[in-house]
Amino acid sequence: MEERLVMRGGGTLALRQEGTKVQLQAERPSDGRGLYKVWLHGDQGGKLLLGTLAPEGGVLRLRRTLSVGALERAGCWPQFWAEAPLAFPFAVQEGGSWYCEQHPERLMEDLVLKGQVTGPMLCRRDRDGLSLAAPFRPDAPAPLSALLCLARVERWNGRPHLVWSFDQEGRPKIPCDPA
């Protein structure tokens, strides 16, 4: 039997228990505002991150299968509630709207840079070209390492991000000194 819960923050969570396994499917409308995470909260204080909702068929969706034991150890079984908060907004103070570009290498002219792209990046377009951004982690290789010296660091939601600017043709821009 399937049970449906309304998630705080929007959307629904469907769950179906089959023996010792629980199938969970979270879904919410795609509003273009940013990335949403799905959390379970046990009535006794437990908390478990299910993951990030991903675009699928015009909505944001996440599917997981977990054991009852894993949910119990997290303090999220049998009584819990779910939420889907906005974890990373795409809009920033400077004005433009950020979105998740699935293939940022298509926006670049240089073959070396295209080869350094390992996955989706945040993108913002404006009349002068575009900007690409990725979270900065000191314990991981920097994305677009050939352009590391041209990146600026911006903090979003308390996390540092590397941001690069490109012209209309996809060539990196050299930052200018405004002074």
Render each residue's pLDDT in the chain as its tens digit; 179 residues. Answer: 799 999 998 999 999 999 999 999 999 998 877 788 999 999 989 999 999 998 888 889 999 999 999 999 999 999 999 999 988 776 544 546 788 888 899 899 899 999 998 888 888 888 888 999 998 888 888 889 999 999 999 887 778 899 999 998 899 998 775 54
Closest C-alpha to 116, from 151, 67, 83: 151
Query: Which one of 89, 116, 151 terminates a domain?
Result: 89
Total structural domains in the chain?
Answer: 2
User: So what's the pLDDT on residue 150?
Assistant: 93
Question: What is the domain extent for residue 70?
Answer: 2-89
| 64 contacts 70 by C-beta, under 8 angstroms | no
Sheet holding 12-18, edge to edge: 2-6, 12-18, 21-29, 59-67, 54-56
Contacts of 169 (CB under 8 A, 6+ apart): 109
Token reading at 110: 């240089």
